[in-house]
């Protein structure tokens, strides 16, 4: 059984009488323990898709199943319980500025009714996992982007989720910090066996961490499968474009110029 199963998912937004199709007939299965990439250009529908996985967006048509349970028709309380199995991190971190690092990681535990002392112990374990044990009294404004994302990761893992959703989690970070955060996610994946979904517009993120990838283009699933296979033999135009973009940015970063530019 798949951990996440998306079946014939269509999402339309109605704005002032106009209908925007954000996602069209998406089918996707993500298995337990995978690191699954979802890649596409800006506006492709990635955030809508990831928000549909935890049902922050309700599908216009189709369904989302988590561990075989269809989220459509769940009562609010059951939905909240399902959501507690899913952690999420974002490009802009979404930390609580008025709370210390420890306070941020304790927050979801307090909401879940965990006693203060127990919550603090758990939060400290998580902070040491993300190597921020010496920052527990700091406030978000005193942290670098990479440190903020580490706090967000610790907070997302506080309630022991089985799935971690990452929406452009490294897009606001420099290349070195991106590598450090991706390595941390890999470590967490190995230590906890958690399923990780990585939403990104960067092919380099997919190639460095993901087992499988789905390419979203204009709200449609262009192609999905093993990263190595898609890289070796892209079938869709969207995949070819993303891969050639990746290769040319690699070449220019390493001092090569495009053949067209050479005389």
Regarding 256 and contact with ligand ADP (CB under 6 A), the answer is no
* Minimum CB distance to ligand ADP smaller for 159 or for 236: 236
Indicate the residue among 90 and 188 with the shorter CB distance to ligand ADP. Answer: 90
| Binding string, residues 12-51; x marks residues near Mg ion by CB under 5 A | ----------------------------------xx----
Q: How open is the CA angle 71-31-23, to the nearest 5 degrees?
A: 55
Nearer to ligand ADP (CB atom), residue 49 or residue 153:
49
Residues 6+ apart with CB under 8 A from 257: 251
Distance between CA atoms of residues 246 and 256, nearest Å: 13
Query: Does the footprint of ligand ADP cover residue 45 (CB under 6 A)?
Result: yes
Integer angstrom CA distances of residue 261 from 187, 249, 252, 256, 257: 42, 15, 12, 10, 7
**Is the Cβ of residue 129 or residue 213 nearer to ligand ADP in the bound state?**
213
Work out how close the CB of 43 gets to Mg ion at its nearest, in angstroms, rounded to a whole number.
8
How many chain residues touch ligand ADP (CB under 6 A)? 12
Cα–Cα distance, 43 to 22 (Å, whole number): 8
Contact predicate 209/186, CB 8 Å: yes
Residue with tokens 């906890």: 192
The distance of closest approach from Cβ of residue 26 to ligand ADP in the complex, given in angstroms and rounded to an integer, is 12
20 binds ligand ADP (CB under 6 A): yes
What tokens were used for 31?
């298995």
22's contact among ligand ADP, Mg ion, none, with CB below 5 to 8 A by partner kind, is ligand ADP
Nearest-approach distance from CB 259 to ligand ADP, in angstroms: 31
CB of 201 to ligand ADP, least distance (A): 7
Sequence-distant (≥ 6) Cβ neighbours of residue 234 within 8 angstroms: 223, 240, 243
CA distance 223 to 217: 9
Please tell me whether residue 43 binds ligand ADP under the rule CB under 6 A.
Answer: yes
Helix (H) or strand (E) run with residue 181 in it: helix 175-192
Q: Which residues bind Mg ion (CB under 5 A)?
A: 46-47
Q: Which residues bind ligand ADP (CB under 6 A)?
A: 13, 15, 20, 22, 40, 42-48
């Amino acid at each position: 059984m798949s951990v996440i199963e998306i079946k014939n998912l269509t999402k339309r937004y109605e704005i002032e009488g106009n209908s925007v199709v954000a996602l069209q007939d998406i089918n996707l299965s993500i298995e337990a323990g995978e690191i699954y990439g979802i890649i596409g250009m800006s506006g492709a529908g990635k955030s809508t898709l990831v928000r549909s996985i935890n049902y922050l967006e309700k599908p216009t048509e189709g369904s989302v199943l988590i561990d075989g349970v269809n989220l459509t028709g769940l009562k609010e309380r059951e939905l909240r319980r399902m959501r507690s199995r899913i952690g999420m991190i974002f490009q802009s971190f979404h930390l609580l500025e008025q709370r210390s690092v420890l306070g941020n990681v304790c927050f979801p535990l307090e909401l879940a009714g965990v006693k203060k002392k127990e919550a603090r112990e758990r939060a400290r374990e998580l902070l040491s996992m993300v190597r921020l044990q010496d920052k527990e009294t700091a406030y978000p404004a005193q942290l670098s982007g990479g440190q903020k994302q580490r706090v967000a990761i610790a907070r997302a893992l506080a309630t022991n989720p089985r799935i971690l959703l990452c929406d452009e989690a490294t897009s606001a970070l420099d290349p070195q910090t991106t590598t450090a955060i991706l390595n941390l996610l890999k470590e967490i994946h190995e230590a906890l066996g958690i399923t990780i979904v990585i939403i990104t517009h960067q092919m380099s993120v997919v190639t460095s961490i993901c087992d499988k990838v789905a390419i979203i283009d204009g709200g449609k699933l262009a192609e999905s499968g093993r990263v190595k296979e898609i890289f070796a033999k892209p079938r869709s135009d969207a995949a070819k474009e993303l891969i050639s973009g990746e290769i040319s940015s690699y070449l220019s970063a390493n001092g090569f110029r495009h053949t067209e530019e050479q005389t």
